[in-house]
Chains A and B, each alone.
Chain A
Amino acid sequence: MTDNLPRPLRLLLGFASWLLTVAITLVGLASLTFFIGRVLPIDPVLAIVGEKALPEVYDRVYLELGLDKPIWQQFIEYLGKLLRGDFGISYSTNRPVLTDLLSFFPATLELATIGLVIGVALGVPMGVASAYWHEKWPDHLIRVIGLIGYSVPIFWLGLVGLFVFYYKLGWVSGPGQVDVFFTGIVPRITGFILVDAAIAGEWEVFWNAVSHMILPAVLIGYFSLAYISRMTRSVMLDQLSREYVLTARLKGASEFTVVVRHALGNAAIPLVTVIALSYGGLLEGSVLVETIFAWPGIGNYLYSSLFAADMNAVLGGTLLVGIVFVLLNMLSDVLYAALDPRSRSLANK
């Protein structure tokens, strides 16, 4: 239908339709949090302010939520507020939820990112080796390592890790981001403790943070690695069975060139999108990990909000992570289009 239109217009339409899909997903996400916050609880006001709130607070929140208005109007107002960055007030910290979330987010990002780096740096080579030596002992070994990784409950492994490496062996520091002694020394610039400590030149704090971070980061890294090596193996097995790999061998290329340059080069395209999406899973897993390690991130924040029955904070956190998920989806779409020459030509036609 659109084939007869000039190319720039077609590109624009394609892009617009992609954006529309993203927007619909975001609205869907917001409607879910709206539903959970407004429709599900018997008394949504109580859900936010708690049972012990004063009557004036109750009335104020009642009006703020607009509970006297019809539900669809409430939803429109809710969407409007979200677009303005108003995720509501957290009644346990008395600050806007978004402010709270953004202040805790960097710590989670720091942990998840290091975890992802470990996952990719180790997981991809493991997956490649696993696929290349299919059904031989390296494959079995790597698959077992991965299998354990996605069968074990992450919070339990963290607990066991703390017990063994902190309590019994004393190799790492315990819960918390830095020792109590060091809190507040480093001025907050980016929110990433390692970066801020390095910028401030506070190397003692830096290494202390490392010793606190190493266990949770390795834990998340292990999970990431288990997933990524499995995905890599699967994609590589597919690619290694293809004819162009035979052609490369026929040219006399070394096995390394064949596997890395040709097979992995092709595998990278779907793999990169898979890895980008897995980052979302790491953020999610941080909820459980942070509670074990008393890490001051979003996970910990959500956990304490849950126990304070702070509905706004819980929903706000869910919404924020959901938005990050959608952004990651968008990123993976873009990466796929950028890396695959075939999709670029489709755009050109």
Chain B
Amino acid sequence: MTGPLVEIENLRVAFRNDDGGWNDAVRGVSFSLGREKLGIVGESGSGKSLTGRSLLGVLPDYARISADRLRFDGIDLTTASPKLRRSLRGGRMGMILQDPKYSLNPVMNVGKQIVEAIRIGDRKLSGAEARRQAVASLEAVQIRDPERVMGLYPHELSGGMGQRVMIAMMVVREPDLLIADEPTSALDVTVRTQVLSIMDELVTRRGMGLIFISHDLNLVSKFCDRVIVMYAGRIVETLDAKNLHAAQHPYTRGLLACLPSIDGSLEPLPTLTRDATWLEAAP
């Protein structure tokens, strides 16, 4: 496969507000992604989730999107037909949402939801074969007793199990790209590691590209190869995860300084003071 998996240049997303003007939520984001793990870090409102959703084409129709370049595997997403974009979703690009309590359909059991994903990929597949594949996908995310889980409803699943079901559902058609939007934020800390290791293993084994969106800088730096820091709709810094401590931008440094460390000083943690200049475009 030639060329990067994802190419984004000057992405802009805006929403109409009450007075008739536009709120710019994403202002000129550019990056590209290969078969690697990229983390996007930022606070609420930084535009990180919107960037992911723009790729997938699931923004509401009252949003306005524009980009100089928005490409997936060479396909120009800005000119692609809705039908093409729909076929890419699930098949070649998957997305995991934050909380399985809400992101799974409460009145359909796990089996039906995964089978639906499989059959969207191959309509001619028999019910029995689809079911078999669904069970296999649950095994792939390390769910013990997958046959029993197939018949469970989302409210009968624990947080970690629900999130693993979500992962299974989104990778079952073997997409090339996986976007994880705060995949562990709703989980207990003890469960997070397990879910992350499952994601890591899947992504590495299948050679997928991963965009990991989170507000947790620490987590992202440990899990990803590269990190992008977003603030107020713009990218303020891009660096390799292992070079995080050498970050230049004051916002990133501020975030790093807020993180407590077990052998750090006993002084109160510094609070981030925001500089209005960060709202302007980087030179």
Q: Name A residues whose Cβ lies closer than 8 Å to a Cβ of B.
A: 242-244, 246-254, 262, 265-266, 269, 339-342, 345
Contact = CB atoms under 8 A, between A and B. Distances in A.
Nearest to A253: B120
Interface string B146-169: 000000010110000000001001
A244 B86 contact: no
16 contacts: A243-B99, A243-B102, A246-B58, A247-B103, A249-B58, A250-B56, A250-B58, A250-B97, A251-B89, A251-B117, A251-B120, A252-B87, A252-B117, A252-B120, A254-B86, A265-B108
B148 to A, nearest CB: 15
Contacts of A248: 105
User: Which of A243, A244, A250, A262 has the most B CB atoms < 10 Å from its CB?
Assistant: A250
Contacts of B106: 244, 266, 341-342
Contacts, number: 72
Q: DSSP majority for the A interface?
A: helix
Interface in B196-223: none
B153 A345 contact: yes
B97 A246 contact: yes
B134 to A, nearest CB: 13
B153 A341 contact: yes
Contact of B90 (A250, A339, A341): A250
B5 interface: no
B89 A342 contact: no
A253 B116 contact: yes
B130 to A, nearest CB: 13
B56 A342 contact: no
B91 interface: yes
B102 A342 contact: no
A326 B94 CA distance: 49
Nearest to A265: B107
A251 B104 contact: no
Interface string B29-56: 0000000000000000000000000001
B13 interface: no
B95 interface: yes
A247 B103 CA distance: 6
Contact of B95 (A244, A250, A262, A265): A250
Contacts of A254: 86
Contact of A251 (B99, B107, B155, B169): B169
B105 A244 contact: yes
Given A243-B99, A250-B95, A341-B153, A262 B105 contact: yes
B105 A341 contact: no
Contacts of A247: 97, 103-105, 166, 169
A246 B103 contact: yes
A48 B128 CA distance: 70
Contact of B89 (A244, A252, A339, A341): A252
Contacts of B120: 251-253
Interface string B69-98: 000000000000000001111110011010
A239 to B, nearest CB: 10
Which 6 A-B residue pairings sit nearest by Cβ, starting from the closest?
A252-B90, A243-B102, A252-B89, A251-B90, A244-B105, A243-B103
A262 B89 CA distance: 17
B262 to A, nearest CB: 36
Nearest to B56: A250
Contact of A269 (B102, B107, B156): B107
Contacts of A243: 97, 99, 102-103
A345 B107 CA distance: 12
B177 interface: no
B158 to A, nearest CB: 14
B97 A342 contact: no
A80 to B, nearest CB: 45
Nearest to B53: A246
B89 A249 contact: yes
Interface in B103-127: 103-109, 116-117, 120-121
Contacts of A242: 102
B141 interface: no
